[in-house]
Structures are given as C-alpha cells and as structure tokens.
Structure 1
Amino acid sequence: MSDQQQPPTGRPVLNGLVALLAVALGVGLILALVALVGSQVLGLGDDDGDAAGESTVRQSMYLPSPVETDEATGPLVTLHTEDPDEPAGSGDAETELPEDEPTTELTSEAAGEISLQALATSVASGERIYFSGVYPGGEGAILWVQRFENGDWADFPASVGVTNGTFSSYIFTGVSGVNRFRVVDRDSGTTSNEISVTVG
C-alpha cells in the first residue's frame, strides 16, 4: 500500500522542464515583438530606402553640376587666364599699365594738396569763422592761417593740426568787409586754396 501511494519520480522533472520551456518561449516572443515595434518606431527599417533616396538625390545633383560648371567656367577661365597673362607681357597689359601709372602719379600729386573750405561765406563782426579741410599725406602737420592784406599774404595768429588727413577750427576777426584766408604748411611750403568770408 505504501509503494502505490508514492508519486513517480520522473513527472516533477518533466513538468519543470515543460514550464521552463514555456517561459523561455514566452519571453522570446515578447522580446521579438519589442524589437520589431522598436525598429518600426525608430525607422531603422527605412534607412536603406532613405539612403537610396539620398544617393539618388546626390546623383541627380551631381550630374547637372559638372555640366553647368564646365559651361560656366569656360569663359570665366579665359577671363582669369587673361589676368595672369597681362603681366606676362601681352600687348593689352602693356597698354593698360601706362594708363594706370599716370593715375597713380596724379593721385600722389593730389595727396600733397590742401583743400580748404569755410562753413559760412558771411558772418557778423566778431563772430566765429569756422573752416575745415583735407590734407592727404599731411598727417601731424601744423597748418598756419594767413590773411590777404595790402596785396600780400600775412600770417594770422592761428594754427590747426592735421589728424587722419583732415583738419578743422575757427578764427575771429574784427576787420569788416571781404576777408581772404588760406592755410600753409611751413615745413613743406604747401598752401591751400583761398576762401573768402564777408565780415559785418
């Protein structure tokens, strides 16, 4: 009687293996579903299609570009090749260089000139006479004011300094009538144009 009541020893092991197999299959299915859903959400499956689309777009962009650049750079390259050829001794370069040289000489001559102007052409007696001007190449120079008196230019008790090629100041005079002024750089002997101001 006691031998018949004992359960067989093989069944609990078999039941345990079946349970483990069922759990493993369930976990595997769940992981597979999670991986599939994750790949679709992240768009991993469309990478090949996107890459193919991008490569197609790149190829379509690159195909016309070389043709257009070749056609556009044809004349541009000839224009650029003309520039290096000019100093190499071409006839056009020799004719253009002398044209540029006189312009440079004129500019250098103009650089030593003093241009003077008055803010107003008429002021009251004792009122300030504002003037300004440009003196290219005269950085740091001291310009002395002169007035035309008795047929000659006489020094006026005023001076102005040149900063950044320009200058400006003012003077007083009680002499009524038309007064003619100019400024002079005593170091270089350069004089400006004259200005006329009516006083009174």
Structure 2
Amino acid sequence: MSDQQEPRADRPVLNGLVALVAVAVGVGLILGLVAMVGSKVLGFGGDDGDAAADTTVRQSMYLPTPAKTDEPSGPLITLHTQDPDETDTSSTDSTDEPSDDPTAESTESESPKAGEISLQPLQTSVASGERIYFSGVYPGGEGAILRVQRWENGGWAEFPASVGVTNGTFSSYVFTGVGGLNRFRVVDSDSGTVSNEIRIQVG
C-alpha cells in the first residue's frame, strides 16, 4: 500500500512546477507583446526611423527649379548724392570769398540806378560831318526830355539837339563840322540830372 501512495505524493509537486512554467511563459508573452506595441506607438521602430530620416534628408536637399528673370527695361539712373556738410561749406566759401571777375564788377558798377543817366556812343571816331550816334538808359526818367550839351571853351554849352526817354531808354544822333576831340553829355531839362560824358574824335 505504501508503494502505491508515493507516486501520488509526488504528483502535486510536478503539477506545481508545470503551473509555474506555464505562468512564466504566459507572463513573458504578455510582456513581449506589450513591449512590441509600445515601441510601435512611441515610434521606436527601426524601419519608421529610417524612413523619417530619409524623408528629412530629401526635404533638406530640395532645390527649386531655376527660372529666367526679366531684365529691367527702364533706363538705369545713378543719383549723385552729396554730403550736406560739403554743400554748406562750398556755398559759404563762395559767398565769403570776393569775386575776381572784372566783368562782373564792371557790369555791376555800370548798371545805372534809378534817377541816373547812362550815356554811351556807337563809335568813338567819325569823319567830319558824319553822324555821331549815341544811346543811353535813364531808369525812372520816363517821358523826360534830354538836352545835348558839348564842351566848349572850358564849359558845357547847349547843342542844338534833344532826345526823349521811352521805356527808360533813349537813342539819337548829332553831327558837327568841328574837328578834333568832341565831348558830349545829356541833361534832364526838368530835374537837371546830368549824364556821364562821351568823347568822339571827329575828322
């Protein structure tokens, strides 16, 4: 009877070992399945990583297709710019320094002022009996009658000629048979304003 009961006593131990192995295998399968699903969800898969890396490389190396651009049709203009300091300096220098141009000075000095008579001859020498043409400017002397005078015997004498002022200017002529250097001037009959004299060589 004792020999028949010993195998029965060992069977529960065997059953326990089988159960432990089964539980271990089941737990291992469950853990492996969980690990595989987690790696796919989190993107740890090798193939997906390589594909993503390949896509990134392709996108970073993308070159756009070159296109021909139209050349400008309008004129090319270059604007010259100048330093405002330099402009101010040059303008100041030009204002401060006196002008060396004698023409500008003579023009300014010869310009008659209001109420002054400026007289000039057409020529400085004529033949005896030839007309002596003259002209002048008389600002502010509109309508004035200017009498011609000639230098005779150390003084100014009336000459038988006169001229009227129109638009601030006048012109006329005289002639004389007196040879040599003749000096003439004109005088405003009303105001007594006297012009400069002109010298004409006659003969």
- Shorter-chain TM range is 0.3 to 0.5
Structure with the bigger percentage of helix? 1
TM-score between both structures, scaled by the size of structure 1? 0.45
Asked which structure has the greater CA Rg, the reply is 2
TM-score between both structures, scaled by the size of structure 2? 0.45
